[in-house]
């Protein structure tokens, strides 16, 4: 690299699992990353909340004075890997105000305050990049933001949480119960000690908000995302799906429903084995995009962990450093569309309904009449067991959530129905 090359100085906020990987790779691969950026990259400061050495990080770089990093005039780019809303939000806004580009992996912050942050970056004419905030090493943000910028995306479906996908994979392949697999996931480090953000769908909902905002050029925040986790999925549900040549996955879905309206939601879905997302196993992630011109696209890879997330951050760093070296900025966020969010009750899906009924004459006719009373058409029905253990599995044609909910309430009130065990949405059930 010649002597006339510009030096780009980097400050980092946070040095946990991801941050330490980023710092280590930045120091180990400094020359290679500099060659790719067209600028000499130098890690200047690493901000932490508590003092102490960090593995693989030069101790002279570490400081607990976070404010000094975002206000340092010699620093050009901030990498934020602290997580949480505050102080990350205030520090990022201060960095942007001071003319620094920002790279962040903070999905919770962007899904809550992204509009404010992107507007601030646009006004300051700096970059705000966030590839690592969704699906780890999978380059889905850059693909949607840049490669598909000339296309009209109509639907995005993703397996964007490795913890839940690991649990559902083991339940499907090994016939194990939810609680048993969750404990194993915690032992292996796939799930936190408090796994609620994962298993209740909140982590995936934050990512759904970001994907929807990007796909449809309209600001979506996490509070607008319908969210349902996997804690109610039983071994019996998994077996029933298996008998349908299908698998249960927790999906983040964002789609155009009608003109000027989108649906954004996270919930379990029964997917046929032929669907590309059905083959995504264990802790891997995948995002399936449908668009008018490109058609169907699938992005697959490791969605979490220190190294995959660091890879995404460093990819952003090379791009942002290149912009800084030539005094330009990259793609900003386009939120020109002001689309309504469809209420979940109006969203149409096929449904799987598993219920226990009395095994006697006329039961099927009565059940069918109940569905028909709410204009919900039955696609298939299957009965197993005898007597008090008789089980019905009904798969409907597409119906609104409100109509299906009304059916379920009527079913629960029927003497011939001992219990409605589960209701799960179905994607692409064979006719």
User: For a pLDDT cut of 70, what percent of the chain falls above it?
Assistant: 97
411 and 314: one domain? no
User: What CATH number corresponds to the domain at position 269?
Assistant: 3.30.360.10
User: Mean of the pLDDT values across residues 82-111?
Assistant: 97
Average pLDDT over residues 336-354: 94
Residue 293 and residue 183 share a domain: yes
Which CATH number does the domain housing residue 420 bear? 3.30.70.260
What average pLDDT does this structure show over 260-287?
97
- Non-local (6+) Cβ contacts of 29 within 8 A are none
Residue 126 pLDDT level (bands cut at 50, 70, 90): very high
Identify the pLDDT of residue 359: 79
How far apart, in whole angstroms, are the C-alpha atoms of residue 253 and residue 212?
8
**Whether 363 and 408 share a structural domain:** yes
Q: How much is the pTM?
A: 0.94
Domain for residue 337, yes or no?
Answer: no
192 token code pair: 């936190």
Q: Please indicate, yes or no, if residue 281 is contained in any of the structural domains.
A: yes
Q: Which of 304, 320, 265 is nearest to 133 (CA)?
A: 304
Q: 144 and 293: one domain?
A: yes
In the predicted model, is pLDDT for residue 2 greater than 70?
no
With 70 as the cut, is the pLDDT of residue 388 above it? Answer: no
Q: Are residues 176 and 253 in the same domain?
A: yes
Q: Is the per-residue pLDDT at 64 higher than 90? A: yes
Contact 144, 289 (CB under 8 A): yes
Same structural domain for residues 148 and 116?
no
Host domain of residue 100 = 7-136+306-325
Domain co-membership, 150 together with 299 = yes
334 within some domain: no
What 3-state DSSP class applies to 261? strand
**CATH number for the domain that contains residue 28:** 3.40.50.720
19 plus 162 within the same structural domain: no
Same domain for 239 and 367? no
Note whether residue 431 is domain-resident.
Answer: no
* 1 domain residue, yes or no: no
CA distance 69 to 160: 32
Average model confidence (pLDDT) for the chain?
94
Tokens of 223: 């509070």
- Tell me the helices (H) and strands (E) count for the chain, helix number first: 14, 18
Alpha-carbon distance 106 to 422, whole Å? Answer: 34
Q: How many domains does the chain have?
A: 3
Residues 116 and 188 in one domain: no
Residues 258 and 316 in one domain: no
Strand pairing report for 284-291 and 62-63: unpaired
Own/partner long-range contacts of 114-120 (Cβ < 8 Å, ≥24 apart): 114/209, 114/210, 114/213, 114/219, 114/221, 114/333, 115/219, 115/221, 115/335, 117/89, 117/92, 117/93, 118/332, 118/333, 118/335, 120/93, 120/96
419 is catalytic: no
Binned at pLDDT 50, 70 and 90, residue 386 comes out as low
Catalytic-role residue among 45, 100, 170, 207:
207
With respect to residue 243, please indicate whether it lies within any of the assigned structural domains: yes
Q: Is the pLDDT score of 431 beyond 60? A: no
pLDDT in tens, 217-266: 999 999 999 999 999 999 999 999 999 999 999 999 999 998 889 999 99
**pLDDT score of 163 more than 70:** yes
Tokens coding 232: 């109610």
383 occurs within a structural domain: yes
- Give yes or no: residues 132 and 147 share one domain: no
Asked if residue 338 is part of any domain, the answer here is no
- For 20-39, the pLDDT digits (tens) are 999 999 988 989 999 999 99
């Amino acid at each position: 690299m010649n002597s006339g090359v510009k030096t780009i100085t980097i400050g980092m906020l946070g040095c946990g699992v991801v941050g330490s990987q980023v710092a280590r790779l930045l120091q180990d691969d400094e020359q290679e990353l500099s060659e790719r950026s067209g600028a000499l990259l130098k890690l200047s400061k690493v901000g932490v909340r508590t003092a102490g050495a960090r593995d693989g990080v030069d101790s002279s770089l570490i400081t607990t004075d976070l404010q000094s990093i975002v206000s340092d005039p010699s620093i050009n780019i901030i990498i934020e890997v602290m997580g949480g809303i505050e102080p990350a939000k205030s520090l990022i806004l201060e960095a942007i105000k001071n003319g620094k580009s920002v790279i962040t992996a903070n999905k919770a912050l962007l899904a809550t305050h992204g509009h404010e942050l992107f507007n601030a970056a646009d006004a300051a004419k700096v970059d705000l990049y966030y590839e690592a905030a969704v699906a780890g090493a999978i380059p889905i943000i850059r693909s949607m933001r840049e490669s598909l910028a000339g296309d009209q995306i109509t639907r995005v479906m993703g397996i964007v949480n490795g913890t839940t996908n690991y649990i559902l994979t083991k339940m499907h392949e090994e016939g194990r119960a939810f609680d048993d697999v969750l404990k194993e996931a915690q032992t292996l480090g796939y799930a936190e000690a408090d796994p609620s953000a994962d298993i209740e769908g909140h982590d995936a909902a934050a990512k759904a908000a970001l994907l929807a905002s990007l796909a449809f050029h309209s600001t979506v925040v996490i509070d607008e995302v319908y969210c349902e986790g996997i804690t109610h999925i039983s071994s019996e549900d998994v077996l029933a799906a298996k008998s349908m040549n299908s698998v249960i996955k927790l999906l983040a879905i964002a789609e155009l429903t009608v003109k000027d309206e989108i649906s954004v939601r996270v919930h379990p879905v029964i997917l046929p084995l032929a669907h590309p997302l059905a083959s995504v196993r264990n802790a891997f992630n995948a995002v399936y995009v449908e668009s008018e011109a490109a058609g169907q696209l699938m992005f697959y890879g490791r969605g979490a962990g220190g190294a995959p997330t660091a890879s995404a951050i460093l990819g952003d760093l090379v791009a942002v450093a290149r912009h800084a070296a030539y005094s330009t900025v990259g793609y900003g966020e386009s939120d020109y569309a002001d689309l309504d969010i469809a209420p979940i009750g109006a969203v149409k899906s096929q449904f799987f309904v598993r219920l226990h009924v009395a095994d006697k004459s006329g039961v099927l006719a009565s059940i069918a009449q109940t569905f028909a009373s709410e204009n919900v058409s039955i696609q298939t029905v299957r009965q197993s067991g005898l007597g008090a253990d008789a089980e019905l599995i009904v798969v409907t044609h597409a119906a609104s959530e409100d109509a299906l909910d009304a059916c379920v309430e009527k079913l629960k009130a029927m003497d011939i129905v001992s219990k409605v065990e589960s209701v799960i949405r179905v994607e692409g059930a064979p006719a």
